[in-house]
Structure 1
Amino acid sequence: MKMIENVEIIEVSPRDGIQNDPVLLSTEAKLALIGRARAAGLRSFEVTSFVNPKRVPQMADADAVVAGLPRDDGRYIGLTLNRRGYDRAVAAGLRDANFVVVASDTFNQRNQGVPTQRSIADFAEIRGQAASGLALGCTIGAAFGCPFEGEVPLARLMEVVEAVMAHAPDELSLADTIGVATPRDVTERVGAVRAAFPDVPLRLHLHNTRNTGIANAWAGLEAGVRRFDASLGGVGGCPFAPRATGNIATEDLVYMLDRAGIPTGVDLDAAIETAAWLEAQLGRTLPGMVMKAGGFPAGAA
């Protein structure tokens, strides 16, 4: 693998990290989390999702969170599932939105209330009317497997990817929503997408549900991905996917990249401290490993 100059880590703890947690963090706590992560060197965030608060009460304060964000050059992304959510993200003042299309119809229906093709049509309509200067990416959920339909064949994934790419998203993300991927799957599916669409910025959203997340991130690196979602402490999960536990932990990913000589701009110790702070806010032990073990030992003096 040739020298990698840098990797962008998108911190998703304020959104995917807490969207399924029984503890409802206050707006102030969410903004404090973002502030602490920024102090650790993170600059890209998925800050909230504009969804029905009755279905996901953890995201009921989306507008207030956006209103409290720092006014700087950070990347702040709002997740949207439909036109209503997208319009809310724009009205709140975000300049970066991420739309979701699920690769399987059953999961798309559970997650968004419509079949996959309807979500693709919604994305096409929004993309056609998006304001100049507003970034609009698209995540393909369940890109490696579905909790309801099981295997998602590569041909089905590429059918959905091609339908989305017909509307030129600014970024394309492949999500292992339920944490079933292996490094071989990542190599195969990222390779297929890059072969078909070599110029699209590609992002991976990985879960560590079955303890393959970090290995999958490395496979993604080798396949050419330079953008990765991660969550401090490894917190996270989808409300509509059974047993879809935690994202890959930010501090675990930073440790691996640091030791491999790949710059992230993130202070590992500060990330560990922020993960511990989040653990205290949620009142339970988080699954991250490096937050417990610490970084590479300095050795005896």
Structure 2
Amino acid sequence: VMKGMPEFVKIVEVGPRDGLQNEKNMVSTDVKIELIHRLASTGLSVIEATSFVSPKWVPQLADAKDVMKAVHNLGGIRLPVLTPNLKGFEAAIAAGAREVAVFASASESFSKSNINCSIEESLARYRAVTSAAKALSIPVRGYAFCFSITRSIHQIFPL
């Protein structure tokens, strides 16, 4: 191991959630399930399967319950789901989720545009989710968004 380098890197594939949530054309539930199965067949050990959010805000993920029920027993694969609030957490657990994720933004403007609340409000929501998860021995992964990209990635990182 090189000095200063970690001995282990955890890769979390988020395509079935983050990659699909902004697609303009609706992706069928069957295609989402097939995508997760194909990703699992590549050897990935952690795949963020979906998000339990309001269909009003993210219509593409309105089928989260059906997707999770279809894939939650993939052997040896961890399938966390994004749960932005306690209602989403409860729906995720009812659908068979055994691991969840929460996220916060470092920017007030991005927090308001992405999850429709302030950073402080989001942290209160996540405290409720993590408390409920702890009571059920459900692992929680947290992550933060630092900014919102409004320019092409090629403008930021010339290729």
Q: Same fold (TM over 0.5)?
A: yes
Separation in 2, partners of 1:210, 1:84:
38
Tell me the alpha carbon deviations over residues 13-35 of structure 1, each in whole angstroms, 9 at most, x when there is no partner: 10001110112211111111111
TM-score, normalised via structure 1 length: 0.47
Q: Kindly state the Cα deviation for residue 122 of structure 1 after the two structures are TM-superposed.
A: 1.4
Separation in 1, partners of 2:12, 2:38:
14
Summarize the alignment of residues 105-144 of structure 1 with structure 2, pairs less than 5 Å apart: 105-130=108-133, 131-141=135-145, 143=146
Any idea what SS the aligned residue of 2:79 has? Answer: strand
Q: 1:127 to 1:4 in 2, by over 3 A?
A: closer
- State whether structure 2 residue 107 is matched by structure 1 residue 104: yes
Q: Kindly state the Cα deviation for residue 100 of structure 1 after the two structures are TM-superposed.
A: 1.7
Summarize the alignment of residues 123-272 of structure 1 with structure 2, pairs less than 5 Å apart: 123-130=126-133, 131-141=135-145, 143=146, 145=147, 147=148, 178=149, 209-210=153-154
Separation in 2, partners of 1:109, 1:92:
28
Any idea what SS the aligned residue of 1:123 has? Answer: helix
Summarize the alignment of residues 279-298 of structure 1 with structure 2, pairs less than 5 Å apart: none
Tell me the alpha carbon deviations over residues 57-76 of structure 1, each in whole angstroms, 9 at most, x when there is no partner: 11010000000005122110
One-letter amino acid matched to 1:95: R
Equivalent of 2:70 in 68, 71, 74: 68
Any idea what SS the aligned residue of 2:36 has? Answer: helix
Count the aligned residue pairs.
Answer: 153
Question: Unpaired runs of 5+ in structure 1?
Answer: 148-177, 181-207, 214-301
One-letter amino acid matched to 1:82: N
Separation in 2, partners of 1:77, 1:55:
20
Q: Is the 8 A contact 1:179 1:210 kept in 2?
A: no
Q: Kindly state the Cα deviation for residue 209 of structure 1 after the two structures are TM-superposed.
A: 2.6
Q: 1:139 to 1:51 in 2, by over 3 A?
A: same
Mark the structure with the bigger radius of gyration.
Answer: 1
Separation in 2, partners of 1:120, 1:86:
15
Equivalent of 1:81 in 84, 89, 94: 84
Any idea what SS the aligned residue of 1:49 has? Answer: coil
One-letter amino acid matched to 1:100: F
Identity of aligned residues (%): 36
Q: 1:179 to 1:35 in 2, by over 3 A?
A: farther
Q: Kindly state the Cα deviation for residue 5 of structure 1 after the two structures are TM-superposed.
A: 4.9
Separation in 2, partners of 1:70, 1:80:
16
Tell me the C-alpha RMSD between the 2 structures.
2.3
Q: Is the 8 A contact 2:53 2:83 kept in 1?
A: yes
Q: Kindly state the Cα deviation for residue 119 of structure 1 after the two structures are TM-superposed.
A: 0.8
Q: Which has the higher strand share?
A: 1
Separation in 2, partners of 1:55, 1:81:
12
